[in-house]
Structure 1
Amino acid sequence: MKAIMLMYDSLNRHYLPCYGGSDVKVPNFERLAKKTVTFDNCYAGSLPCMPARRELHTGRYNFLHRSWGPVEPYDDSMPEILKKNGIYTHMVSDHQHYWEDGGCTYHTRYSSWEIARGQEGDQWKGQVREPEVPDTLFSEKTKFMTSLMKKMGVTNIHRHDDINRQYLDTEDKMPQAVTFKNGLAFMETNRDDDNWFLQIETFDPHEPFFAPERFKDLYPDVDYDGPLTDWPPYAPVDQGPHEINHVRNQYKALLSMCDDYLGLVLDMMDKYDMWKDTMLIVNTDHGFLLGEHDWWGKGVMPIYNEIAHTPFFVWDPRLQVKNEHRSSLVQTIDIAPTLLDFFDVKIPDSMMGKPLKGVIADDSPVRQYGLFGFHGSHINITDGKYLYMRGPADRSNAPLYDYTLMPTHMRSMFHVNELQNIELEEPFDFTKGCRTMKIEVKKGGFVNPAQYGSKLFDLSKDPNQTIELDNDALEVTCVQAMKKIMQANDAPPEQYVRMGIPEDRDYTLDYHRQLKKEIQESEAIPGMEHYTFELGAYNQLYTLLNTSPENRREKILEDFKRSLDRISNKNITQEDIMVFANKLPISSEEKAMTGYFLGIAGRHK
């Protein structure tokens, strides 16, 4: 038996025809749906890139215990388990995060691996002089992000992208093309051999949406005459409809490129009749917001379905089921046990995911609820009908810790300042007796999820998540289910505290209502009791104070109160906050940073 997993990054399912997309040219995804089982209710677990891949290896949630990071020494890694059981495992990829500090232990779990360089900010070609940077719709935000990354000691990924593109001047040199060439070569070389697993993984259609002209020509911008823009920031949308459509067209062009290379894999499976003995899995880590909910990107906003509700396709040669849909709730954590089951390899007890053979055969459910989230953000739960986003119990979004033996962030090791007060935590039930470092996550992160509060949606009636439900009893039901899953995953105690979920007693309706009252009272800003706030303005004032140096906060608040003398109706608007912030005696770099975070804080959805 053989298996191929074809993995994309940031694939928004709403653009695929089998999930309702209507204006994207992806004939091979349509062909794929006819040859496989299409899962209508697949959700991510841990986000974004490397947390999702840790789930892919371990079959268990990552986001409850740590943020972005490598495979840990105690992790049960699916490709390594296969390798140890006589299954040859090979990965071809252009996903540059595998070769950074925060992903450095994944590719070495395979029997062999090949890389293609040049995606996004991959530190590939060396060039001392600054590259020419063309203007885009997002130039000001890009400059801010560059200065923020510089302040954090992180490589300027936009600079490297501009350099890399100079060397990707023909399609055959582009990372996706090289990745698929390598994957097809492995298939060709080993098609007559047995017992192998191939992972073909491309970073596309992750931003930047860099695609050859032949795919861009499929989506002409008849109403747009601005600069080429293919890299949206993670920020609120403040562009008009023509600009939004232009960025979406760049994404569609890259998606059509993904479709074209998918077709080459399907062609080879047809050519050698590999369908008779080869499992095919096509998946992604998460989606991406392209103007939906007035947002670009992921991570700084609530995790709407455009991000969390993912496309997923499986062909299992044992069952021969194709051109059918399945409605059972499945997740990324199910992929590892599904592959182990396919190769008849024992599934470790540490894996919380389930093999999907029964779902493929007759839609037999494997779970009632699924969790998903970013570390330190909302904890989200869905049963496929309702989706509940549980926000932190107070604005501190604390306590919060990383538990790890591999202290690396995305592109760097933990700073020594983060490691001054580490503790050794007692083993979790999945760490095989290993104690882990318990490292406090510093407050004031990229964005505070508390500003959005908790949200509840009825997906069956409101699939676009435009109407928030007010139903305390249903929230309580969701929290009770959330608590059980957290307990089954041995979530650390502070996650219950952060979320306002009592670990030692039942979460009741009375407790829920009392907690909501306490949260509302705790968010009061001293001296602002006699004012009303436009939606989002209160979040902005709170964020302005929270992101300012602690020794300046009291003066800033007093100065802001004095600035309100001109307001006669006592109603504070977002414009009032922004005007005041722009007059603060701070550097232009600090003003850009403040403006970015206030723009995000002004969002309440």
Structure 2
Amino acid sequence: MKAIVVLMDTLNRHMLESFTPSSWVKTPNISRLAEKSTLFNNHWSGSLPCMPARRDMMTGRLGFLERGWGGIEPFDVTLPQVLKSKGVFSHIVTDHYHYFKTGGENYCQAFNSWDLHRGQESDPWVSRVNKPANFTESVYGRAEPQYEKNRTTFISEEDYPGPRTMKAACQWLEDNEAAASFFLMVEAFDPHEPFDCPQHYLDLYEDDYTGPRFDWPKYARVGEPPEAIEHLQKRYAANLTMIDHWLGKLLDVMDSQQLWDDTLLFLTTDHGFLLGEHEWTGKNIMHVYNEIAHLPLMIHLPGVVPDKKGISAITQNIDLMPTLLDYFGIDIPQTVRGHSLLGLVKGTENHIRDYALYGTFGMTVNVTDGKYTYLRAPIHEDNYPCCAYTAMPTTFGAYLGTHNPDQIEVGRYLSYTNYPLFRIPISQAGVPFKMAQHVQHSLLYDIESDYHQLEPTEDEALIKRYTELLIQAMELEKAPDEQYMRLGLNR
């Protein structure tokens, strides 16, 4: 048995014509895959952003109530570990450099083999002491010296990290064509920012922008003029069209090797991205709107004719691990909180959960039942009290607790492991992202009539009902006590 997961970082569901037929973005190969796949219409994030989402996918459980960005914990039971113990060879090919910086430990190392393609974003790859001659601060958004160094190596389209990643995945399939069983994870950083690609992809969108360079937005309120935001959206679209083109090469190998007949294939993402919607660009520091939390998911299951209506059941990224284990006939570990999706694809099930719980550590905690979304904000700007629980106190390029080591405690705090943990009080000074600063109000939206979340409801009875649902969901996940306190929830 064979399985492939294609994970494209920052893949906006609402910009894919497979999910939104009116989309103006050109993704013919994602649409080509959709024709052979079952589409999930109610698929939601779990922990955000990048590394927390990957830990969810690897472990089959939500982590954002316990800690934020960080490595695989020593007590985590992960997908590649379980596959390896049952004799299934696994390989990851990726250009997601966060796996190899502080806060990304132990993900790739659990695979039988791994392949990293350097050069995305601020990956410390091209080593030059001096700043590039063309580096300038006269841009909208961000411009980073390290990326300017990296991009000097992108002479042709095939030199970009995303295309290199897809080419390497194709080569791996060619090299292992005779294999009877494997799991291949193909991770493309694109279309994550910076939105950089050869000019001919931008030309597809008739871009005539002449203002300051703008390909790497800040996570901030929109302050750029409308023409710059339109250009930014076209840059995102061009970057997405480029990685879609190279996805087509992978699908060509699927065709030539007839892998559709015996290979499970996922396409999904970790989160979306705001490109001016709600007057924001980015993620992490604002409310987790549907553009960020409502994700694309399509699954090709051999021997199953896809239901063209798609699946309406609520699903989450924690369902990836149990689905793959179920496909390989492997028992699902007791620590897993996700569900196998195979019954939904086969039509033997039509429901696996009543709601999805999701969020970013130290920010809002959110719940949706597919009818409403409730975005619960902390009640204090300093986010007190908030603690991280970890045996691996690394985070986004840094270490947790270095500013308050005298406040760190050690104990056995989590019900699903007896492993001793650090309990580290977290404040604004202790995390790389601003917490609670821009989400001072809780919001409830009727997403059946107001999907784009433009007008929050003030119905007190409904707010009470979804507050109770949120408390119920957090209790089932055994959220730490201080999570209720910082959100002002009365249990």
TM-score scaled by length of structure 2: 0.96
| SS class of match (1:91) | strand
Correspondence for 2:393: 407
Q: Are the equivalent residues in 2 in contact too, given 1:120–1:161 (CA < 8 A)?
A: yes
Correspondence for 1:175: 161
Q: Superposed, which structure 2 residues align to 1:251-290 within 5 Å?
A: 251-290=236-275
Offset, 1:29: 1.5
Change (3 A) 1:287 1:451: closer
Kindly provide the amino acid, as one letter, of the partner of residue 372 in structure 2. Answer: Y
Correspondence for 1:495: 483
Q: Superposed, which structure 2 residues align to 1:79-158 within 5 Å?
A: 79-131=80-132, 132-134=134-136, 137-138=139-140, 142=142, 158=144
* Alignment partners' CA distance in 1, 2:18 and 2:3: 23
Offset, 1:451: 4.3
* Alignment partners' CA distance in 1, 2:435 and 2:412: 30
* Alignment partners' CA distance in 2, 1:297 and 1:33: 27
**CA deviations over 1:235-259 (Å, ceiling 9, x no partner):** 1112222111111111111010111
* Alignment partners' CA distance in 2, 1:278 and 1:333: 21
* Alignment partners' CA distance in 1, 2:323 and 2:437: 33
Offset, 1:489: 1.6
Correspondence for 1:246: 231
Correspondence for 1:341: 326
* Alignment partners' CA distance in 1, 2:407 and 2:462: 40
Aligned residues: 485
Kindly provide the amino acid, as one letter, of the partner of residue 486 in structure 1. Answer: M
Correspondence for 2:25: 24
Q: Superposed, which structure 2 residues align to 1:454-603 within 5 Å?
A: 454-503=442-491
Q: Are the equivalent residues in 1 in contact too, given 2:401–2:408 (CA < 8 A)?
A: no
User: Comparing both structures, which one devotes a greater share of its residues to helix?
Assistant: 1
**CA deviations over 1:322-362 (Å, ceiling 9, x no partner):** 54411111000000100010001110111110000122122
Kindly provide the amino acid, as one letter, of the partner of residue 286 in structure 1. Answer: H
Offset, 1:419: 2.6
Q: Are the equivalent residues in 2 in contact too, given 1:302–1:452 (CA < 8 A)?
A: no
The answer to whether 1:369 aligns with 2:355 is: yes
* Alignment partners' CA distance in 2, 1:15 and 1:135: 30
Greater relative contact order (Cα 8 A, min sep 6): structure 1 or 2? 2
Change (3 A) 1:449 1:339: farther
Offset, 1:25: 1.4
**CA deviations over 1:532-556 (Å, ceiling 9, x no partner):** xxxxxxxxxxxxxxxxxxxxxxxxx
Q: Are the equivalent residues in 2 in contact too, given 1:302–1:449 (CA < 8 A)?
A: no
Q: Are the equivalent residues in 2 in contact too, given 1:422–1:440 (CA < 8 A)?
A: yes
* Alignment partners' CA distance in 2, 1:103 and 1:220: 38
Q: Superposed, which structure 2 residues align to 1:283-362 within 5 Å?
A: 283-321=268-306, 323-362=308-347
* Alignment partners' CA distance in 2, 1:94 and 1:33: 24
Change (3 A) 1:322 1:169: farther
* Alignment partners' CA distance in 1, 2:92 and 2:189: 13
Q: Are the equivalent residues in 2 in contact too, given 1:34–1:324 (CA < 8 A)?
A: no
**CA deviations over 1:214-272 (Å, ceiling 9, x no partner):** 212212223x2213321111111122221111111111110101110111111111112
Correspondence for 2:403: 417
Correspondence for 1:580: none
Kindly provide the amino acid, as one letter, of the partner of residue 220 in structure 2. Answer: A
Percent pairwise identity:
40
Q: Superposed, which structure 2 residues align to 1:176-215 within 5 Å?
A: 176-215=162-201
Offset, 1:182: 1.2
Deviation >6 Å, runs of 4+:
none
* Alignment partners' CA distance in 2, 1:326 and 1:54: 25
| SS class of match (1:18) | coil
Change (3 A) 1:269 1:323: farther
* Alignment partners' CA distance in 2, 1:392 and 1:192: 54
Kindly provide the amino acid, as one letter, of the partner of residue 237 in structure 2. Answer: K
**CA deviations over 1:154-179 (Å, ceiling 9, x no partner):** xxxx1211111111221111111111
Correspondence for 1:216: 202
Match of 2:412 among 422, 426, 433: 426
The answer to whether 1:34 aligns with 2:52 is: no
* Alignment partners' CA distance in 2, 1:253 and 1:228: 15
Q: Are the equivalent residues in 2 in contact too, given 1:398–1:443 (CA < 8 A)?
A: no
* Alignment partners' CA distance in 2, 1:395 and 1:172: 46
* Alignment partners' CA distance in 1, 2:462 and 2:97: 42
Correspondence for 2:9: 9
Change (3 A) 1:450 1:426: farther
Kindly provide the amino acid, as one letter, of the partner of residue 231 in structure 2. Answer: H
Q: Are the equivalent residues in 1 in contact too, given 2:41–2:312 (CA < 8 A)?
A: yes
Offset, 1:313: 0.6
* Alignment partners' CA distance in 1, 2:337 and 2:385: 25
Kindly provide the amino acid, as one letter, of the partner of residue 100 in structure 2. Answer: W
Q: Are the equivalent residues in 1 in contact too, given 2:197–2:242 (CA < 8 A)?
A: yes
Correspondence for 2:434: 446
Correspondence for 2:366: 380
Offset, 1:408: 0.4
| SS class of match (2:388) | strand
Q: Are the equivalent residues in 2 in contact too, given 1:135–1:227 (CA < 8 A)?
A: no
In structure 1, the gaps of 5 or more residues are 144-157, 504-605
Change (3 A) 1:388 1:449: farther
Which has the higher mean CA deviation after the structures are superposed, 403-412 or 415-424? 415-424
Kindly provide the amino acid, as one letter, of the partner of residue 258 in structure 1. Answer: I
Kindly provide the amino acid, as one letter, of the partner of residue 245 in structure 1. Answer: E
Q: Are the equivalent residues in 2 in contact too, given 1:315–1:322 (CA < 8 A)?
A: no
* Alignment partners' CA distance in 2, 1:395 and 1:122: 33
Which has the higher mean CA deviation after the structures are superposed, 452-461 or 391-400? 391-400
* Alignment partners' CA distance in 2, 1:243 and 1:486: 41
Correspondence for 1:59: 60
Q: Are the equivalent residues in 2 in contact too, given 1:26–1:259 (CA < 8 A)?
A: yes
In structure 2, the gaps of 5 or more residues are none
